[in-house]
Structure 1
């Protein structure tokens, strides 16, 4: 599989960057538009419009291109940034999305909600529908988030360790069947060779990072960058000493968490409890 593509030195304007990457990927293979259309299964004229910046296309066609070019998640990430190039995503979050697409390993701590890469359609729709997005825009946002799951697939997918607070697993969706589906999906994701899930119980008491979601990303250049997020803001942390301090706190939380095997058993018990609850 091809190495993850560096994104520096290219356009920083999301829509132009997306079109630029599409043109470059096709040019590298000296592939005519018509042959690309035949290989991927869409009319070649659509790809022409996407490369010229006339349209962004939909998540399905972008996912198909990611698969064809061997760039799992990269094009979909750039598409999402381009789609939201109306200041709905702040520049710091755009920077994070690019880092996520390029990372060779990821470590996450979730204090209250599941990581986006783990969310089902119902979970994402409920979370993002709380007055943030509506109608067709909500549908596009949910599709974009679901498409990011491709980042975890493929032979060169990054390793992903997620530590979930017990609170995450004790906060169900309003519809019980949808919550059961989410827990089942979490168990399925946890079976992937590149994914490790741990649960830190409420009985562990107070611990560092308590209410702050943190993602550590290691790009191809070997450094580690952190994304720190609260319920209303987020920021990329690149300064080495600050990242190291966050890493020490993360390591402390990991030591308090259940082992991966015990964590999967805990999630299974949570699913069984949800299945046994009386209908309301």
Structure 2
């Protein structure tokens, strides 16, 4: 059977294909980014980043574009395919890591796991094993995560605030000894002047970030981006209005959390209650 030829001339990469379609549709419509923004109510910078492939945007803006261009759901389909492309997650994460290395402040909320920058080697290994990694691949990923921890210890270290859910702190490792090591590490980290840890108690109830781990990166140029992640995917959020909405939810979440001092006491109590490893 002869090799199938690509007849459209468009990229076969889902993310690039989505961006190309956006560019082509706007060119056919004959409108500028500003005119598009004025008509649909989003920032022109967002549409520019979407057309350059820097962000996919959210489903609401894609649906609005579908309606504006009369494409009958085509853009939403392309957006769904691009969003689920596993290679794009790796590329976005690599870009995120570059921004993290340059950040002057980092604020994080962790709903279900200890933040990566605060994990011990044992915690990282067990977590990654549940992600079906093993052998040399597992050890490479563990070492990479341990390398990230140095960010908080370097001479020009950024300010770091982590809000950790009580549920996370009550989910131990298989080894009691490894879990005690992790709790002890959290207490050691709060002794660093650039690190603040707060606990979100279960009694706080529902809030605006119920199922999303979120990290805000503040650059020296005043720019702020957010990384939102679940167990299967992650997204780098750069559009100003969206970042500001997430920040507002984070601020309200911080108001519900225990103070840094009470959070330290809470972790100390968990360490006192944690069983000792019977082998020691």
Residues 267 and 107 of structure 1, relative CA distance in 2, 3 Å threshold:
same
- Please name the residue that 2:215 is paired with: 215
- Please name the residue that 1:145 is paired with: 145
1:276, distance to aligned residue in structure 2 (A): 6.6
Instruction: Map 1:109-258 to 2 at 5 A.
Output: 109-258=109-258
Residues 131 and 259 of structure 1, relative CA distance in 2, 3 Å threshold:
closer
Long gaps (5+) in structure 2: 1-85
1:277, distance to aligned residue in structure 2 (A): 9.4
Give, in whole Å, the separation in 2 of the partners of 1:257 and 1:245: 19
Residues 266 and 129 of structure 1, relative CA distance in 2, 3 Å threshold:
same
Give, in whole Å, the separation in 2 of the partners of 1:110 and 1:131: 18
Give, in whole Å, the separation in 2 of the partners of 1:140 and 1:224: 30
Aligned residue for 1:199, secondary structure, equals strand
Quick check: 2:166–2:200 contact (8 Å CA) kept in 1? yes
Quick check: 2:103–2:217 contact (8 Å CA) kept in 1? yes
Residues 135 and 197 of structure 1, relative CA distance in 2, 3 Å threshold:
same
- Please name the residue that 2:272 is paired with: 272
Instruction: Map 1:10-21 to 2 at 5 A.
Output: none
1:132, distance to aligned residue in structure 2 (A): 3.0
Moved segments of 4+, more than 2 Å: 86-89, 275-279
Aligned residue for 1:129, secondary structure, equals helix
TM-score in terms of structure 2 length = 0.66
Aligned residue for 1:275, secondary structure, equals coil
- Please name the residue that 1:94 is paired with: 94
- Please name the residue that 1:18 is paired with: none
- Please name the residue that 2:261 is paired with: 261
1:131, distance to aligned residue in structure 2 (A): 4.4
Long gaps (5+) in structure 1: 1-85
Give, in whole Å, the separation in 1 of the partners of 2:191 and 2:149: 14
Give, in whole Å, the separation in 2 of the partners of 1:169 and 1:222: 33
Quick check: 2:89–2:233 contact (8 Å CA) kept in 1? no
Quote the RMSD (CA, aligned, Å).
Answer: 1.8
Aligned residue for 2:274, secondary structure, equals helix
Give, in whole Å, the separation in 2 of the partners of 1:277 and 1:175: 7
* 1:33-71: CA deviation from partner (whole Å, max 9, x where unpaired): xxxxxxxxxxxxxxxxxxxxxxxxxxxxxxxxxxxxxxx
Aligned residue for 1:231, secondary structure, equals coil
- Please name the residue that 2:106 is paired with: 106
Residues 168 and 96 of structure 1, relative CA distance in 2, 3 Å threshold:
same
Q: Number of residue pairs matched?
A: 194
